[in-house]
Structure 1
Amino acid sequence: MPVETPARNSLDSSFAIGDDNIYRDHVNQDGSHQSDDPKLAYGPQRRIEIINNGNQTQQDITTHIDLEPGTVLVKLSNGKYGLLLNSSAINKPKSIVATLNDGRKVNIPISISTFNDGRSIGYAAPITSDLIDSGINADGTNIASLDVTYTSLEPGTKLEISFGNNGLISDKKPGEVATYSYTVTSANGASHNGVQSIPIADPKGFQYQFTGWINFTGGDYQPNSENGGNLAKVSYTLQHVSYSDEASSYLIEIPRGFTVNPSDLHLFQKNKEVEGGKIEYLGTVGEHGEQTFVISIPFMPYYGSPVFVKDANVTVTYTKNPVEVQPTPKPAEPVDSNKPSPTEPTNIVTNQVNPTPVTAKSQTPNRVAPSQQTTTSKKLPQTGEEHNGLTTIGLLMLSLATELSLKKRKKD
């Protein structure tokens, strides 16, 4: 006889992973918010994710959200504030009811379909002028709680509710916490809940992230090689924590000890040359005579779609003394398991830094000074030279320590 699967009413839910902090906001004299400033990073939106992990369609799914007083709702693409909903196309939203600080309840219409790819549908519920007339603040900061209801949630499908832009207009000080909680229930009797306390902080400046590397022909730097060991490829990556359509400029240097033909450098994004991007060669004006370039881009690239400065060969300027006598090799040193293998590449990793952003108005590039560096030092093969040969990597590291991070990778 066939075995029937027992009915299982079950819901799972969680706050989506977001920034470690929520940031203080305020309204400027012109009516804009501090969080509108593209030079400040407020991080991703705050949202809740609900999943039907049972095998029964859940009816009348209501998510009750208690907000920290002063929570700024999501800034929508039309410039208004509101909520964003996203779920499978089979699931339909029903209503959103806001409870204000004074206890009044106001219905927020779900009036805009933001996207529909056939599988998922997104909706927006903006704070309209009518809602403002009814007593809701334009940014939603006087909403105490929200009740978001969907008519159904099919097994294996998910609902996302974005309720905040990660800004807070409050008298609370940095170091205090903002608390959010929610409870999800269905007419079937399933339920789930969560609570989150988030430290309050002042907003951060835009974070810039730079990465650079040199790839040697054959994978190794060979100072006395005649088969390309002194020739390498150079590449830099420019990216931010989030995208902005504001123009940006960058100052990069070719590492000391290397030279490049300026006309060989190009800007790429998604394997295409960057439209409107410019590379200006300033000459050997680096602190130690490094070749220096200004990179201008009509936007701020982000980590999901970085801009690459690449396609140029660099040549090591080291020259071996032709009459030098090679010394007798030293006896092999005892193996220390804590030391890195000499076959591993030399890496310099630079953490994100926060320079003052450069806008299209100033057209003045930043000199980026990394906040921290993590360096793994490796020795080059001994060749007996007493001059620049053994210091090339050190010089290269010095140059990148002031501007970029270098990654020398060995081919597989």
Structure 2
Amino acid sequence: MVPVPDAQQLGATPLAGARAALARRLLPTVLNRFDVDIRTAGAPPLRTTAPAPGLPQIDVHRPDDLIRRIADAPKIGIGEGYMAGDWSEADGTDLADVLAPFAEKLSSAIPPVLRRLRKVVDRPIPLHMRNSTAGSRRNIEAHYDLSNDLFALFLDQTMSYSSALFEHGRPRTRETLRAAQLRKIDAALDRARITEASSVLEIGTGWGALAIRAAQRGAKVTTITLSKEQAKLARDRARDAGVSDSIDIRLQDYREVTGLYDAVVSIEMIEAVGEEYWPIYFQTIDAHLNVGGTAVIQAILMDDARLRATRASYSWIQKHIFPGGIIPSLPAIERTLDRHTTLELTEISKFGQSYADTLRIWRAGFDARLDEVRALGWDDQMIRAWQFYLAYSEAGFRTGYLDVAQLRLERPRADADV
């Protein structure tokens, strides 16, 4: 994980000092617009209007350091300030509750004059994070090869690291998470029309849950990943499930795939592809899908206008959690399909609130086992980064800033227009 810079060093130059002074002047204008109680004991307030009673509360412990971080990189500084302990949720306040008002109003609460400064203050995405063949391998390893033992601490027994699909009106708890993950997997397999006669390509193995479930239907599965850690455990899990003979697990980039398949499934893989490579990703699905075949991708989605506004800027989550990652919008996917493939988008099934609950359960599981996380070599800064990532993601889905959907893509039959 990338270390957090010392805040004092960020303000060591005249230009940095000027940026910090400007940030100190502008921050109250922005923060006054969010439904959060921000308290800075012993320092000038960062919020200058009285908050309504009962709002979630933030305690700012080192306001000068936090301002320096925000001035240096607004999209990175808030998260790094949390990692460093410059601010925290108040006692009795949940971190996702604190972050939800920001996710809900992020676009509308920033005054137009400040939005026009985006090109000046946003940091460009580093070139080494491009998802070339070599870059993708580095980016995937940076997250997914952290440790299988780490992910096992907070995921359910299926080791599914993507949104579950909960039943409407049913309890959404750790006890029901496994069933909800299997429901998500079965929904994807059903949408892809996978049966015992199907040949299946899975792009993004995870820890093998979908491949195993498809093989249990009688399908023959080729599944690819760039994570050595995931591939090793997926092979073990396939062996333990008695379906090793039906699953070919490959350490392979999606751009290196060969062969034709009746179905292609890819669960929350597109977020790691990079916008530059979306055409190649969908062309790969198109090229390796039999005529009349069906593909299903599960994708995290954001608003198209928000994507256009932020696509070129470097964010905290790219720096510390998912290097090279970018979340698409549904219109962006549709534009890519229309311009670069023969695939038709024939079904969209959204379930963003299921993701909010999935993330809430993951975070509770992570927090309950912090002693074991520390035993894996994680320090407090790394732990706070993971807590911030899970909580902010939960807030994004809870407020509708983010969504998730399963998309069915179909390769038309040659005689479709006859």
| TM-score, normalised relative to structure 1 | 0.25
| TM-score, normalised relative to structure 2 | 0.25
The structure with the largest strand share of the pair is 1
Please tell me whether Structure 1 or Structure 2 has the larger radius of gyration of its CA atoms.
1
